[in-house]
Amino acid sequence: MTEFVSSILGTLVKKLTSSAVEEIQLVCDVKDDREKLKNTLEMIQMVLADTKQRQTKEKAVRLWLSRLKN
């Protein structure tokens, strides 16, 4: 009987451990995606800030920015 209970507990522990590992991987993937998105948004903000400065001197930039806003 002890071996049977031990076997069941072993299987249960493996399943719980596997589920925990999957959850940790999911959380890490979300953190990686969040960091990538943050970096992308920061880059977009910098490009738009640069564009706003350049629009006073360059017609093509002014047109591009106007179309982007609409």
Domain count, the chain: 1
pLDDT in tens, 27-69: 888 888 888 999 999 998 898 888 888 888 888 888 888 888 7
Enclosing H/E stretch for 40: helix 2-54
Please tell me the pTM assigned to this model: 0.55
Count of residues making up the chain = 70
19: domain range? 2-69
* Average of per-residue pLDDT across 6-13: 74
Q: How big is the CA angle at 18 (ends 14 and 3), to the nearest 5 degrees? A: 5
